[in-house]
Structure 1
Amino acid sequence: MTIERLDPVTLPAAVGNYTHGTLITGVRRTVYVSGQVPWAGDDGREPPGFEEQCRLTWRNVLAVLAEAGMGVPNLAKVTTYLSDRRHREANSRIRQEVLGDHAPALTIIITDIYSENWLLEIDAVAVD
């Protein structure tokens, strides 16, 4: 399986460790990760701050991928829902920590989140 970045020269450069699109060939399996939220499995509570919630949410996304024997390199598309645009810089920084050099297709949406205590939600598509 290969994941090829699609960044046409006719578009502005993708800044922030994402790609305009992904071409995936030779796929054997696809995992659709439901929207993950900042809930810890041990007590069901969310941390109070955005950075802690963001790291916990990514931990939950990666746990779903690990259950399928996948990880960050398998991510093809990530959608992040933020409760407030003030969180976008911290979100970007933490996402880059988690993804490293991997740059999937990416969408960020500013919206209300299901629980007023959750500051973000992340869903994803992964392939191998």
Structure 2
Amino acid sequence: MAILKHNPPSLFPQYKNYSHAIETSSGSRHLFISGLNGYEKDGQSMPESFTEQGELIWKYIGEILKSANMSYNNLISVRTYLSSPEYDAENMALRKKFLGDHEPTLTVICCQLLETKWKLEVEAIAAD
């Protein structure tokens, strides 16, 4: 599958780990990953810290991708919901850790999440 990045020089510079737009060709598979949060495998407990919650979420994204015979490099779009803007730097560090130099489209939104103990929620789209 061809993945074509669209980062025209007439737009503002790209953020780290970011593309303004990504085009995929027809005939490709698309995997839509629901918003994931930082619950432990038991579905009840959750780490307190932002980074620990984020590590779990990115691990889960990796496991879902693997189940579809994909990797983080297949991600074409990532949307992150932060419970507070104070987590922006930690969020960027997590993305860099798991995405390396990969540049999917990104959106980060600060909002009240469904549960007060959630520090973030991440949804994604992958294609191959």
TM-score bin (small chain)? over 0.9
Show the counterpart of 1:111: 111
- Residue by residue over 1:75-124, the C-alpha shift from the partner in whole angstroms, topping out at 9 and shown as x without a partner, is 01000000000000110011011001110000000011111111000000
**Uncovered stretches (5+) of structure 2, i.e. residues with no partner:** none
Show the counterpart of 2:121: 121
Show the counterpart of 1:50: 50
Show the counterpart of 1:6: 6
Deviation, structure 1 residue 17: 1.6
Instruction: Tell me, in whole angstroms, the C-alpha distance in 1 between the residues paired with 2:2 and 2:28.
Output: 11
Instruction: Tell me, in whole angstroms, the C-alpha distance in 2 between the residues paired with 1:123 and 1:31.
Output: 11
Instruction: Tell me, in whole angstroms, the C-alpha distance in 1 between the residues paired with 2:63 and 2:34.
Output: 12
Deviation, structure 1 residue 27: 4.2
Residues 34-73 of structure 1 aligned to structure 2 (within 5 Å): 34-42=34-42, 44-73=44-73
Instruction: Tell me, in whole angstroms, the C-alpha distance in 2 between the residues paired with 1:57 and 1:16.
Output: 20
TM-score by length of 2: 0.94
Q: What is the alpha-carbon root mean square deviation over aligned residues? A: 1.2
Instruction: Tell me, in whole angstroms, the C-alpha distance in 1 between the residues paired with 2:43 and 2:5.
Output: 39
Runs of 4+ aligned residues of structure 1 deviating over 6 Å after TM superposition are none
* Conserved? CA contact 1:27–1:127, under 8 Å: no
Aligned length: 128
Instruction: Tell me, in whole angstroms, the C-alpha distance in 1 between the residues paired with 2:27 and 2:44.
Output: 35
What is the percent sequence identity of the aligned residues? Answer: 34
**Uncovered stretches (5+) of structure 1, i.e. residues with no partner:** none
The 3-state SS of whatever aligns with 1:23 is: strand
Instruction: Tell me, in whole angstroms, the C-alpha distance in 1 between the residues paired with 2:67 and 2:44.
Output: 20
Which is worse superposed, 60-69 or 105-114? 60-69
Deviation, structure 1 residue 40: 1.4
Deviation, structure 1 residue 57: 0.9
Show the counterpart of 2:77: 77
* Conserved? CA contact 1:2–1:26, under 8 Å: no
